[in-house]
Homo-oligomer: A and B are copies of this chain.
Amino acid sequence: MREAEIPVTFQPHGRTVFVLDGSTLLETAAQAGITLNTPCGGRGTCGKCKVRVMRNADVPCDAEQTTLDASELAEGYRLACQTHVCAATTVDIPDTSVLASAFQILADARDAVTDVADAALRKVLVELPKPDRFDELPDVNRLERALEPFTLDLELLRELPEKLRVGDFYGTAVFADGHLIDFEQGDTRNECYAVAMDIGTTTLAGVLLDLTTGHERASVARMNPQTRFGDDVISRIQLVRQDATGLQSLRAAILDEVNEMIAELAATEDIPLSRIYEAVFAGNTTMQQIFAGIDPSALGESPFPPATGHGLAVRASELRLDIHARGSAYLFPVIGGFVGGDTVAGILATSLPESAGPTLLVDIGTNGEIVVYHDGRMLAASTAAGPAFEGARIMHGMRATTGAIEKVVFDGDARISVIGDAPPVGLCGSALIDVIAELLRHEMLLGQGMLLGADDVPDTVPQPLRDRLIDTADGPAFILANADETSSGAPVLLTQKDIREVQLATAAIRAGILILMRRVGLDVGDIERVLIAGGFGNFIRRSNAQRIGLLPIELEHHRIQYVGNTSLAGARLAAASRHARERAETWARQVQHVDLSLDVEFNNEYVTAMFFPE
């Protein structure tokens, strides 16, 4: 049963999101990228998440009547944590209710403004006096006299005399970190772009950034075409080790795709590729090495040493990227063979080492990387979680894109929410979490991971839900969307095998979290904030993530925050700011890598975590 969603518009942000009936305003606001204050943990006692519901306000509950005064209630003020959406509405959010946090920009990066004051790229409009017999300064020195001393490549030096003369010594000098990379005819100061990309094992996501304003202008996401060579990095490293042309094939595949994505971003905004001067990439160590054409063979064998830990600042042409001919490219520093640039980008995006208290960053991609910050220290570990939450290895799994079921609620029957105005095609990571959590709650799924048949579920399970349990050749399955709801005419299923994949993924991550906690001498309860990163949906329901055991159940609910694709967010920061890159380089070197396979307790924890929490 697919239901229409209810539109909720937030002011003064002007953002509208569509949610299922009964969602809290707190959750709805988060989905719109607005994180509200909830120091009480969303229990309705602190009053800090106060918002003004302009239409269709609920009747105030007891908590609201205690916390808010009569005049506030009369004006429509409610507590976001206690108010449930039941009809289309508009909500006014006071500044005081918004959590002032860097994480905000992550949850809704599209509207975020990246700080560009510190950008490496700088354009200066200049009009030079023309050379004459009494002013015969060489071209470069003439330009320096008007500006400041700079360096330039031979390639540009070869073109500069012509470029200066074609524009009659009037034009825009383009500097990248004090290095002259072009002299453009006329005033092009407003045409200044960068691309930032997350190059994941399974998914590639990129944005076009306007470096004059810091605004995102376009975004694009695609499947990593390397998946046809193997869906995890290990299989791709094996290919390189076995096949002399393996590296070349893998590199060509991603490079072509990335160049197409860049072309798409530029075309969307009608921008010539020559006006894109920077390209920043964050990915795991193997992805980054393959992308840079560095043999990843050493990453296939213990102790998995990367070629370098440093960020790679190179000419875009060295990577064969189709941006400005003398544009630059940057790949993030890495921590180890299996804790890569995406994790460093996440640390950067969340300013992890500047956290007020013990903080955990969990990035759920094809691998699950976990970083704990405590008392000036950072420890990181990687777990082989697998790509389940990105939709891979799941029968009807898919990325969080149009047609993906992104949310599932059991309410007598299964109600689903689909991304975009489209019939359901498959399910993305957030829906995977939802449906398993709901199956567990309804005891249709046992703690050890067995999906029950229609006849074996408790009597309390409503018939519509019971009807969704079917037997297939591969074992039991749960129907998320019936054949008549989809355009393909085939149902969208969650299979027993899918559930096993999720068990493996959640077990690895949860065990990793516990080991890291122990290493810094903390209990899960000591954690002040848990940041969940990943591209698996627009929003992750914290209670569901805990219900399936992805996060320890002991974690206080309100401490968990979904921060979106931090790899992309970090890449975006590094595209616009030199300081951000310096922070990334410094922080990467401060992280201590924990090899979980060397930890005697990890395997025990892992096996224990294979069971869904009771």
In the complex, chain A residues 131-156 whose Cβ is within 8 Å of any chain B Cβ:
131-133, 135-142, 153-155
Determine the distance from Cα of A303 to Cα of B305 in the docked complex, in whole angstroms.
57
Cβ of A298 under 8 Å from chain B? yes
* Residue from the list B136, B298, B305 in contact with A593, Cβ < 8 A: B136
Within 8 A of B (CB), among A555-600: 593, 595, 598
Least distance between A302 CB and chain B CB atoms (Å): 6
- A306 — which chain B residues lie within 8 A by C-beta? 138-139
Contact of A595 among B133, B165, B294, B312 (CB under 8 A): B133
Shortest C-beta distance, A145 to chain B (Å), equals 11
Q: Beyond A158-B295, A161-B294, A161-B298, is A309–B141 a contact (Cβ under 8 Å)? A: yes
| B residues in contact with A307, CB < 8 Å | 138-140, 157-158, 160-161
Chain B: minimal CB distance from A267 (Å): 28
Residues of B within 8 A of A292 (CB): 154, 157-158
CA distance in complex: A305, B292 (Å): 40
Task: Look across to chain B and name the residue whose beta carbon is closest to the beta carbon of A595.
Answer: B133
List B contacts of A154 (CB < 8 A). Answer: 292-294, 312, 314, 318-319
Closest CB in chain B relative to A162 CB, distance in Å: 7
CA distance A306 to B160 in the complex (A): 11
Q: Do residues A141 and B593 form an inter-chain contact, with CB atoms below 8 A?
A: no
Chain B residue contacts of A314, Cβ below 8 A: 153-154
- A337 at the B interface (CB under 8 A): yes
Cβ of A161 and Cβ of B303 under 8 Å apart?
no
Docked complex Cα distance between A295 and B161 (Å): 8
Question: What residues of chain B lie closer than 8 Å to A423, measured between beta carbons?
Answer: none
A229 within 8 A of B: no
**Chain A 282-313: CB-based contact to B (< 8 A → 1; otherwise 0):** 00000000001111011000111111111010
A20 lies within 8 A of chain B by Cβ: no
Among B137, B158, B294, B298, which residue has its beta carbon within 8 angstroms of that of A158?
B294
Q: Does A403 contact B (CB under 8 A)?
A: no
CA distance A141 to B139 in the complex (A): 41
A36 at the interface (CB under 8 A from B): no
Answer yes or no: A334 CB below 8 A from chain B CBs.
yes
Contacts of A162 in B (CB 8 A): 295
- Chain B residue at smallest Cβ distance from A165: B298
Is there contact, CB below 8 Å, between A303 and B140? no
CB-CB under 8 A from A353, the residues of chain B are none
Min CB distance, A135 to chain B, in Å?
7
Query: Considering the chains assembled together, what is the distance between the CA atoms of A26 and B27 in angstroms?
Result: 98
Q: Counting CB contacts under 8 A, is A214 at the interface?
A: no
CA–CA, A157 and B288, complex, Å: 13
Q: Are B308 and A135 in contact (CB under 8 A)?
A: no
The winner among A139, A158, A305, A598 for most chain B CB atoms within 10 A is A305
Which listed residue (B133, B135, B161, B337) contacts A598, Cβ 8 A?
B133
Q: Please, which residues of chain B bring their CB within 8 A of the CB of A76? A: none
A535 at the interface (CB under 8 A from B): no
Chain B hits for A140, CB < 8 A = 307-310
Report Cα–Cα, A319/B154, bound state, in Å.
Answer: 9
Q: How far is the CB of A69 from chain B (nearest CB, A)?
A: 60
CA distance A535 to B318 in the complex (A): 42
CB distance from A188 to the nearest CB of B (A): 22
Q: Among A141, A142, A297, A312, which residue has the most Cβ atoms of chain B within 10 A?
A: A141
* Residues A136 and B336 in contact, CB atoms below 8 Å apart: yes
Question: Of residues 297 to 349 in A, which have CB atoms within 8 Å of B's CB atoms?
Answer: 297-298, 302-310, 312, 314, 318-319, 334, 336-337
Q: List 10 A-B pairs, minimum CB-CB distance, nearest first.
A: A140-B308, A136-B303, A138-B306, A138-B309, A131-B305, A141-B309, A133-B303, A154-B314, A131-B303, A158-B294
A-B contact pairs, 30 of them (CB 8 A): A131-B305, A132-B303, A133-B302, A133-B303, A136-B336, A136-B337, A136-B593, A136-B595, A137-B305, A137-B309, A138-B309, A138-B334, A139-B298, A139-B308, A140-B307, A140-B308, A140-B309, A140-B310, A142-B305, A153-B314, A154-B294, A154-B312, A157-B294, A158-B307, A161-B294, A161-B298, A161-B305, A161-B307, A162-B295, A165-B298
